[in-house]
């Protein structure tokens, strides 16, 4: 893969100055496959200047034209599905089939939902003698993670552009290549110069410059809770709006009347998807104590259907973790959990058999996990599931709500109304009931230290709008 040596600023590819580039590593081989420029505060400033100059004309662009450009971008990405999916599988390790269906498929769907939403969205309304107008907030700084490198970018950028904002994007330096493909797509479909700008680099340099820039009106950040706190603190210096989508430690509550086999199948799939590198992953399975042993037997059988291997191998369901730091962190979590008294039901800290190179870990299920222990409280961000017994529904809800996070969760029951009643008691931004499917029009975001603000659909659009009232 060709090394990248330029930023996309003001509608042009601007050569990076002579600096040490950032290596892009294939996590399945631990070999460098590309590199991207290491940006500076000066590069961010140039991008913000371009975005500011483009803001007023873009905000004044008819909604129908903005929608048409988003739809064209969706078509252009879809036409390059195989190419972009391979980029993502190479830069962060997700299996190729998953990259095609989700890592590329979801961004296409999100772009199309915003193009369609604009056709009917009311940007103004009359309230008594006031005309209430919703206007784009301005220049948006978007800072995105490596686990869903194109989807997380598009979830922010599509909404911001639909609202009439301009964008300066810093993708994760771990998996930045698909962001360059998106810039190429916007250039191809004729997005006006300066509306979308791309600067790669390190968080403490480029991210800080975006969050602190006085001419950036809003920052939308997805990443760890620790980094989100830093973005919020830096953004507070200029009192800019900060929207955060952070970590999770989501609970999957299996009620005593559930189809246990189906619940285990759905729960494992949710935990192990993308090698567990999903902020919404259900990493705590809460099961009735009377069905605990049965659950572990079913999990042992079901987990055997998650072969670990190279992203390009057809049979692979779990690829490598995205980088060396994540690999070391996940292995350390498993080892600490065992030291704290947990038992390994499936997997463990050892490397998968036959995979001596690459950041591969065994999909792991832990039993005898105590509520309040580290592995039950903290986000692992790997394919590690803690199975926890409970005696009463109230206890299950208390355990589910007993962490600093509140991003996602699930409930399984033979009675839909009963499941919904438990879901309503969970202090979390999203709950899937009996395996409810992902909906790109529904709001995505969390409670507590999982962040603030929402992405996707109408709620995601409104994050990028200011509200003005005209008294007539």
What's the CA gap between 196 and 192, in Å, rounded?
Answer: 8
**In the annotation, is 245 catalytic?**
yes
Structure tokens at 427: 């202090």
Please report which residue ranges of 352-425 form alpha helices under DSSP H.
374-377, 393-400, 416-425
- Residue ranges of the domains in the chain? 6-246+450-471, 250-439
Q: For every one of its 472 residues, what pLDDT tens digit does the chain have, with 9 covering 90 and above?
A: 889 999 999 999 999 876 789 999 999 999 999 999 999 999 999 999 999 999 999 999 999 999 999 999 999 999 999 999 999 999 999 999 999 999 999 999 999 999 999 999 999 999 999 999 999 999 999 999 999 999 999 999 999 999 999 999 999 999 999 999 999 999 999 999 999 999 999 999 999 999 999 999 999 999 999 999 999 999 999 999 999 999 999 999 999 999 999 999 999 999 999 999 999 999 999 999 999 999 999 999 999 999 999 999 999 999 999 999 999 999 999 999 999 999 999 999 999 999 999 999 999 999 999 999 999 999 999 999 999 999 999 999 999 999 999 999 999 999 999 999 999 999 999 999 999 999 999 999 999 999 999 999 999 999 999 999 999 9
**In the annotation, is 83 catalytic?**
no
- Give yes or no for a contact between 352 and 360, defined as CB atoms under 8 angstroms apart: yes
Nearest to 277 by CA among 427, 23, 103: 103
Query: Around 412, how many Cα atoms within 13 Å sit in the side-chain half-sphere?
Result: 21
Residues 6 or more apart from 79 whose CB is under 8 A from it? none
In angstroms and rounded to an integer, the radius of gyration of the C-alpha atoms of the chain is 22
- Give yes or no for a contact between 366 and 342, defined as CB atoms under 8 angstroms apart: yes
Q: Which helix (H) or strand (E) holds 31?
A: strand 31-36
Of 91, 173, 279, 455, the catalytic one is 279
Maximum Cα–Cα distance across the chain:
73
- Give yes or no for a contact between 20 and 176, defined as CB atoms under 8 angstroms apart: no
- Give yes or no for a contact between 359 and 321, defined as CB atoms under 8 angstroms apart: yes
Fold match between domain 6-246+450-471 and domain 250-439: no
- Give yes or no for a contact between 217 and 74, defined as CB atoms under 8 angstroms apart: no
Of 173, 245, 455, 463, the catalytic one is 245
* Three-state secondary-structure class, residue 210: helix
Topology of 6-246+450-471 in CATH?
Aldehyde Dehydrogenase; Chain A, domain 1 (3.40.605)
Q: What architecture is the 250-439 domain classified under in CATH?
A: 3-Layer(aba) Sandwich (3.40)
* Three-state secondary-structure class, residue 41: helix
């Amino acid at each position: 893969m060709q090394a990248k040596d330029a930023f996309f600023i003001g509608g042009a590819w601007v050569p990076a100055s002579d600096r040490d580039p950032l290596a892009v590593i294939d996590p399945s081989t631990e070999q460098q496959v590309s590199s991207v420029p290491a940006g500076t505060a000066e590069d961010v400033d140039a991008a913000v200047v371009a975005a500011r100059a483009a803001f007023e004309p873009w905000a004044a662009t008819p909604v129908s034209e903005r929608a048409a450009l988003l739809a064209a971008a969706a078509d252009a990405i879809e036409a390059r599905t195989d190419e972009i999916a391979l980029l993502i599988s190479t830069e962060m390790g997700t299996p190729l089939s998953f990259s095609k269906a989700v890592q590329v498929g979801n961004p296409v769907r999100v772009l199309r939902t915003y193009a369609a939403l604009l056709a009917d969205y009311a940007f103004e309304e009359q309230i008594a003698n006031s005309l209430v107008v919703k206007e784009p907030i301005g220049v948006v700084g978007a800072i995105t993670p490596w686990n869903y490198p194109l989807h997380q970018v598009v979830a922010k950028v599509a909404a911001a552009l639909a609202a009439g904002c301009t964008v300066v994007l810093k993708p994760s330096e771990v998996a930045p290549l698909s962001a360059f493909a998106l810039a190429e797509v916007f250039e191809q479909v004729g997005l006006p110069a300066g509306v979308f700008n791309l600067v790669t680099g390190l968080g403490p340099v480029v991210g800080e410059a975006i969050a602190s820039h006085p001419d950036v009106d809003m920052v939308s950040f997805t990443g760890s809770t620790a980094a989100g706190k830093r973005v919020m603190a830096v953004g507070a210096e200029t009192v800019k709006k900060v929207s955060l989508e952070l970590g999770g430690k989501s609970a999957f509550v299996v009620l005593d009347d559930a189809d246990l086999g189906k619940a285990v199948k759905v729960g494992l799939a949710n935990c192990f998807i993308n090698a567990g590198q999903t902020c919404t992953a259900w990493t705590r399975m809460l099961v009735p104590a009377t069905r605990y042993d049965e659950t572990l037997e079913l999990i042992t059988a079901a987990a055997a259907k998650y072969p670990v291997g190279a992203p390009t191998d057809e049979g692979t369901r779990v690829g490598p973790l995205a980088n060396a730091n994540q690999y070391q962190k996940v292995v350390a979590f498993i080892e600490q959990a065992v030291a704290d008294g947990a038992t390994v039901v499936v997997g463990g800290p050892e490397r998968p058999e036959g995979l001596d190179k690459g950041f591969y870990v065994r999909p792991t299920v832990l039993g005898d996990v105590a509520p309040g222990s580290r592995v039950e409280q903290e986000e692992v961000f790997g394919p590690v599931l803690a199975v926890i017994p409970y005696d009463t529904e109230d206890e299950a809800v208390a355990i589910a709500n007993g962490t600093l996070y509140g991003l996602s969760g699930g409930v399984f029951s033979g009675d839909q109304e009963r499941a919904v009643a438990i879901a309503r008691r969970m202090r979390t931004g999203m709950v899937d009931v009996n395996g409810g499917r992902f909906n790109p029009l529904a709001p995505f975001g969390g409670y507590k230290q999982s962040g603030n603000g929402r992405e996707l659909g109408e709620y995601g659009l409104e994050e990028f709008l200011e509200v003005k009232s005209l008294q007539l």
